[in-house]
Structure 1
Amino acid sequence: MASKQLQRVLAAALSFTAAPLVLAGTIEFSPAPFPLTDTEKRGILTSDSATVDGVQVPVGYHTILRSGDTAEGTFGLLHDIDGNPLVAEDGSPYISNDNDFASILEGEDGKLYMVAHFEARPGAMYLTELSQDPRTGVLSAVRTRPLDFSAVDGGWVHCAGSVTPWGTHLGSEEYEPDAKQWRDDDISDYNAAMATYFGATPAQASSVMNPYDYGYPVEVKVKNYNDATVAKHYAMGRMALELAYVMPDDKTAYMSDDGTNVGLFRFVADTAGDLSSGSLWVARWSQKTSEGAGAADLQWVYLGRATNDEVREWKDLYKFADVFDEADPIMQNDEDTGTCPEGFTSINAGHGDGDHQCLKLRDIDGDGGVWLSDWNIASRLETRRWAAMQGGTTEFRKMEGITYNPDANVLYLAMSETDRGMLDNNRAGKTLPYVKYDIGGLNHMTIAKGNKCGVVYGLALDGTYTATHMWPVVSGTPITEDYGADADSPDYDGTNKCDINGIANPDNITYMPGYNTLIIGEDTGSGHQNDMIWAYNIPSGSLTRIQTTPYGSETTSPYFYPNINGFAYLMSVIQHPYGESDEDKLEQPSEAFAYTGHMVFPAMDQ
């Protein structure tokens, strides 16, 4: 039970939200079965039914396409910059099973389309024309083709996404390559895989790739099947972008940064409906309590204004060594003291792991001093590092999905774990101090006890859609000692380290407007053996399991559409079955094909 201090903090946070609207809609799902048998763990289990506004309707999962399916084109086939299919080592076409976010859009021709991500290097997005059954609402693929990214130097690890208020697809590029690797001529295999897009080998990556080409929001506007434009919004900053989510003012966008020791960013466009120029901020966590998952006021550190055209020029002109000078931390008895030589700023930031760095901004333009233009260049090419140097908080761990509740003017943010930099020189479930995540940094976040089962936070917004407070809404429950429980649980069955009646490692989330229901998808390994999607009733705090997925997969892309031609849709993508765990249980290659699909309901635009 929360202490009185925590209760006061949460009450204060809630008091700053707008007065809730009158909610006319109700939805209640029947629980999806929990998979117990091997057969059930290989399948997709869903709620049998949902009661929507008092009417019971059947619920099922409808697959639009699986990776490798053909509908004129081959869904998930990766291509090089010239449009040639990539081939695997055995000479077979390289088809990705890393399906991720998939949007439903209406083209300018009035037809329905889906833009679907593949979280690979090189990445891919596919445009699929859809047909809609007028009786059942079920969507089917008519034809599919890859989108051409050659004008923007290819796509990179397209993870989650959103749909803008003006009806375009807003995708992402996660885990941006570390430009320091290019300076040191030590490019990781992960980053070097992108070289195949340019017809080169990974060993040639340093000569064919520019790391500053990747890590940005990607907007896709669909006119018709043969005319869809792709734009990277360099002005919004570069990070391990899980997704960007645009608020109802058509200007403010929140961006989640996935990884270890990362930040939360807010972009405000100069012009409504146009993300090509604007100003960028990073959140600063001012902790109010360390209990539970912590709670804080949020301040915002200004990182400057830029345009796509400016950053497009900068990324081709400058390298890491042009932006920053770097020094080694000061050591004492072979241990890092957490300090830097005079003139260098000490930070701890990155998306891979804790990394104490000593940096100094260079005179980038060579004009005899460090000017505001130099700041802007650093803020867009090295967004997280510059944010840390300016005093922003870069201590979050595995920041994932974002969604907005217009009924209460609350933003929701999923944190797959509360661990590492979010704690105070410690690790969840560990007994020894782990200073690497806080050493050299500002250590804004000092949550008392981590939670490797994860948390969904609420963020109160003011009248300008600026987040002012952050507090935990729903958390997973560890049941094993190594996951941070107080003692071994008799409920531990050897496979599920988080309580099976609650969430484990929340990832993508979506809100059902007017229905007080938050949908939470999981990306968990040993937290739950089979990943799940949950419906969370906000007033009651109750969770209902509505879908489970096969061994080794993760749930991606839950995204809700209240009314498309008289039907509501909950998108659901099942990524890389047997690919994250339980690989030894794969019996047929076809079992590993990913699923892109949906659930369908009567229109729910209350």
Structure 2
Amino acid sequence: MKVRLWGLGVLSALSLAGCNDDDNRYDTPSLSIESVEFTSTPAPATADEMAKTYSRSAVKITYRDGRVEEKPLAYNVLFSVKDPIAEANGQKHPAGQVYNYKMEPLIDPMGNPVVAETPDANSLLNIDGKLFLVTHYEYDWILSDGSTAWTAPGWYTRSPMSMTLSHISQGSDGQLTATKVRPIDFSGVNGLWIPCFGSQTPWNTHLGSEEDYDLIYNPLDSKNYGATTAGLKALRDQYFKGEREANPYHYGIIPEVTVKADGATSVVKHYAMSRGTWEQAKLMPDGRTAYLGDDGAHVQMTMFVADKYGDLSAGTVYTAKWNQTSDQNGGSADLTWNKLGHATNAEIKALADTLTFKDIFNAVAPGNGQCPSGYQRIRAGSTADECLALKPGMEKAAAFLETRRYTALLGGTTEWTKMEGI
């Protein structure tokens, strides 16, 4: 998902007073709250409205003594991506600065910081009474001279991205303030690539995404494979400083960030949840089931069921099959789930470290829309037809590293467009 946002704000009424355990203004008998609801904001109708971040909604508070009070919602800006407040290696950098694997800032062709203009997901976490905010930076599209990043001569179509951790203080009036901001180090998981939607887990960690549009193409796809080579080059040159090649199977994986009360963070990528152009992975209240939204064209709908609550490192992946029964009133269908396989993070990471596309599939270019005997024609991730045959013993690798293609080979549905979540 592409959105253009420059500032990081919190939409608030009562300034999130409910997050402050010491604020008991609304707990006295005469002010006890019966219910809280939010009014709607009409969809933007003018170009000016479409270009702004705003709200016309209000919070409606009904008290137990019958009184009703409405307070307008408003955005409280914590910081903007260009604010020089992020601390890394003893230096201050713009909040949206992106870094290489040594946490050194990336610099654009003009000698200025590469700053991601697009903060996306935020998780406000209460860790032992302390507030922290985890923020995604999805992509960089404007260089410091105003030119478009992916068309600038000698530059890259994309850059490796980042998340920040903000220490948040809350005043007696409920107002939130970012007191310290630092980038989160992803070097232990080979960096971060296009993080989009994020959410909190039931066990109070941050669950992110990698919306990998680029590193998923078939080498025989002459129209699109250039995006893969360009993305791998960007990761090699920028993130790894030219010291090693990037591996496409290390991206398109769901990351989880754990924050401790002292502000320390740890990161894991959940290879067991499979691979895709993940807009999101949203956990259900059972703490085991997650629905994953695959962005782009000719994509999948996926479900992951963890072996146990609170641990996403092992589980079973299912893919959806949409059997349409009617085209009336928006359409209706029977939805079934096909099991792709069970795995652990360690199993799939080991496969990702050693395998390539050519190790998993035999592939030939389709001729006149037909595939040779022994090959299956699919569309998965683009409008390009592919002729694939799974190599013996590669079922698990295909299920978790080539999830979309394996879905198509098994007869699952890959006709979705922007299946960003359900």
TM range (shorter): 0.7 to 0.9
Match in the other structure for 1:212: 249
Q: 1:288 to 1:225 in 2, by over 3 A?
A: farther
- Find the aligned partners of 1:399 and 1:33 in 2 and give their Cα distance: 22
> Residue in 2 aligned with 1:153?
190
User: What secondary structure, in the 3-state scheme, does the structure 2 residue paired with 1:129 have?
Assistant: strand
Of 340, 343, 363, 1:326 maps to 363
1:139 aligned residue (176, 188, 196): 176
Which amino acid is 2:210 matched to? E
Alignment partner of 1:61 out of 69, 75, 78: 75
CA distance in 1, matches of 2:412, 2:37: 40
TM-score (norm 2): 0.78
Correspondence for 2:153: none
Indicate the residue corresponding to 1:198 in structure 2. 240
* Secondary structure of the structure 1 residue equivalent to 2:218: helix
**CA deviation after TM superposition for structure 1 residue 292, in Å:** 4.0
Q: 1:183 to 1:154 in 2, by over 3 A?
A: farther
Task: Report whether the alignment pairs 1:178 with 2:216.
Answer: yes
Query: Quick one: which of 120, 131, 140 aligns to 1:100?
Result: 120
Residue in structure 2 matching 1:111, options 130, 137, 144: 130
Once residues 213 and 293 of structure 1 are traced to their aligned partners in structure 2, the CA distance between those partners, rounded to angstroms, is 38
State the match for 2:97 in structure 1.
77
Deviation, structure 1 residue 181: 4.1
SS of 1:398 mapped into structure 2: strand
- With 271-280 and 284-293 compared, the bigger mean Cα shift is at 284-293
CA shift for structure 1 position 226: 3.9
CA distance in 2, matches of 1:217, 1:35: 36
Q: Counterpart of 1:354?
A: 383
CA contact (8 A) 2:220 2:364 kept: no
Q: 1:28 to 1:145 in 2, by over 3 A?
A: closer
**Counterpart amino acid of 1:228?**
T
| Aligned residues of 1:129 and 1:225 also touching (Cα < 8 A) | no
Q: What is the letter of the counterpart of residue 192 of structure 1? A: K
Q: After superposition, give the CA deviation of every residue in 1:36-73 in whole Å (9 maximum; x if it has no partner).
A: 585x6664432163323332112111111211223353
> 2: CA distance between counterparts of 1:295 and 1:37?
35
- Distance in structure 1 (CA, Å) of the matches to 2:191 and 2:162: 8
Alignment CA distance shift 1:361-1:271 (3 Å)? same
72 and 244 in structure 1: CA distance in 2 versus 1, 3 angstrom threshold: closer
Counterpart-to-counterpart distance in 2, 1:311 and 1:183? 25
Letter in 2 for 1:46: S
Instruction: Tell me the distance in 1 between the aligned counterparts of 2:417 and 2:47.
Output: 33
**What is the identity, as a one-letter code, of the residue corresponding to 2:296?**
G
> What is the rounded CA distance, in whole Å, between the counterparts of 2:376 and 2:402 in structure 1?
14
Question: 1:256 Cα deviation (Å)?
Answer: 0.4
Distance 1:59 1:72, change over 3 A: same
Q: CA separation in 2, counterparts of 1:145 and 1:391?
A: 45
Contact 1:69 1:75 in 2 (8 A): yes
Percent identity (aligned): 38
3-state SS of paired residue (1:229)? strand
Structure 2 unpaired stretches of 5+: 1-33, 63-67, 88-93, 140-158
Which of 293, 301, 314 is the matching residue for 2:351?
Answer: 314
Taking structure 1 as the reference length, the TM-score comes to 0.55
Q: Establish whether residue 342 from structure 1 lines up as the match of residue 353 from structure 2.
A: no
State how far apart, in whole Å, the 2-side matches of 1:127 and 1:397 are: 33
- Contact 1:155–1:173, Cα closer than 8 Å, also in 2: yes
Rounded Cα–Cα distance in structure 2 between residues aligned with 1:55 and 1:235: 48
**Separation in 2, partners of 1:181, 1:64:** 44
Deviation at 1:189, TM superposition (A): 3.1
Distance 2:220 2:378 in 1: 20
User: Unpaired runs of 5+ in structure 1?
Assistant: 1-23, 363-369, 403-412, 414-606
**1:28 shift after superposition:** 4.5
- In 2, Cα distance between the equivalents of 1:229 and 1:70? 24
Matching of residues 433-452 of structure 1 within 5 Å: none
User: How far is 1:330 from its partner?
Assistant: 3.8
Superposed counterparts of 1:414-429, under 5 Å: none
Please give the per-residue CA displacement for 1:545-592, whole angstroms capped at 9, x wherever unaligned: xxxxxxxxxxxxxxxxxxxxxxxxxxxxxxxxxxxxxxxxxxxxxxxx
Contact 1:127–1:225 at 8 Å: present in 2 too?
A: no
What root-mean-square deviation, in Å, do the aligned CA atoms of Structure 1 and Structure 2 show? 2.3
Q: What CA distance in whole angstroms lies between the structure 1 residues aligned with 2:400 and 2:165?
A: 29
